[in-house]
Amino acid sequence: MRKIITISLNEEEEKKVRESIKKKGFSSMSSYFKHLIATEEDMISEEELLQDAKDSIEEYKKGGSIRADSMRDLI
């Protein structure tokens, strides 16, 4: 079952959204917002990104990774 939601945008925001919809080839505002929601679900948070970076630094310090100047060095 579908639900209709309402969002409030000022004129400038609405203009930007409509331009993005047209520029990116979406057929409707609904399809554009569905795309944004799906994209957002795939993103990681800033905290997760920072933790991954810290973990990688620790792994590197412990010798758990190698430094490669190119893809050829990895294979």
Instruction: Kindly state whether residue 2 falls inside one of the protein's structural domains.
Output: no
Number of domains in the chain: 2
For the question of whether the overall pTM of this predicted structure is more than 0.75, the answer is no
Rg value, the chain, Cα: 21
Tokens (6 digits) for 70 = 């190119």
Contact between residue 59 and residue 65 where contact means Cβ atoms under 8 Å apart:
yes
Residue 68 and residue 57 in one domain: yes
User: Is 54 inside a domain boundary?
Assistant: yes
Q: What is the per-residue pLDDT across 5-50, written as a single tens digit (0 to 9) for each?
A: 999 999 999 999 999 999 999 999 999 999 999 999 889 999 999 9
For residues 53 and 58, what is the distance between their CA atoms, to the nearest angstrom?
9
Task: Identify the DSSP state of 41.
Answer: H
**53 and 34 within one domain:** no
Retrieve residue 10's tokens.
């000022």
59 pLDDT band (50/70/90 cuts)?
A: confident
Say whether both 39 and 51 belong to one domain: no
- The C-alpha atoms of residue 33 and residue 15 are separated, in whole angstroms, by 15
Mark whether 50 and 69 lie in a shared domain: yes
Assess if residue 67 is contained within a domain.
Answer: yes
Domain that holds residue 21: 10-43
